[in-house]
Amino acid sequence: MERQRNMLKYTDFDIVFQEIPDEVTLAINISNCPCGCAGCHSPHLADDIGDALTASEVDTLLEKYGAAVTCVCLMGGDADPAAVNALAAHIRMKGKKSAWYSGRAALPDTIDTAHFDFIKLGPYIAERGGLKSPTTNQRLFRIECGQMHDITDRFGPKKEFTE
């Protein structure tokens, strides 16, 4: 069942050092996730909870933490990728790198890679593990000149996954 499109909402945020290599990242956890990954580390994010995540709210967070961070990562937002795209463009206009952690297997058509510096794709599959696992199906891409370059190996040595 497809979820109705709503505004993006976020439940919390943190400054993190491991989500995006070489960046001090303001990671914003977005709720209303439609992915339903078994073993999700944040199952509460499937609920439609939290406060509105608008450009104005991002500005407020950047006023408070902007000098301490080099990147803003939207953790989720798969229910409304067009809104994620718009926020990423806003973040870049504010002089920060933008990143998106998506549980989707493929990039939605509504995403313009010109608005992003990093995109993580792939649902969480417990038996394959997350980005640090050598068997992960998830991939982190650095976006350069509109091209997606796989940098997943920055999290550790990877083995090719075969089905």
What per-residue confidence (pLDDT) applies to 1?
A: 36
pTM higher than 0.85: yes
**Joined tokens for residue 55:** 């450009």
Tokens read off for 102: 């998506």
Our measurement of the distance from residue 7's CA atom to the centroid of its chain's CA atoms, rounded to an integer in Å, reads: 16
With bands split at pLDDT 50, 70 and 90, how would you rate the model's confidence at 81? very high
Our CA dihedral for 105, 108, 112, 113, rounded to 10 degrees, sits at 10
Q: How many residues does the chain have?
A: 163
Please state the rounded mean pLDDT for residues 75-100.
Answer: 96
Q: Which residue has the higher pLDDT, 7 or 62?
A: 62
Q: Is 114 left (phi over 0), alpha (psi -120 to 50) or beta?
A: alpha
The pLDDT-based confidence of 31 (bands split at 50, 70, 90) is: very high
How crowded is residue 138: how many other Cβ atoms within 10 Å of its Cβ? Answer: 22
114-163, pLDDT tens digit by residue?
999 999 999 999 999 999 999 999 999 999 998 999 999 998 765 555 54
CA dist 79 to 44, 72, 127, Å? 15, 19, 25
Q: What pLDDT shows up at residue 146?
A: 85
Q: What percent of the chain has pLDDT over 90?
A: 80
- From 100, 116, 113, 124, select the one nearest 8 (Cα to Cα): 100
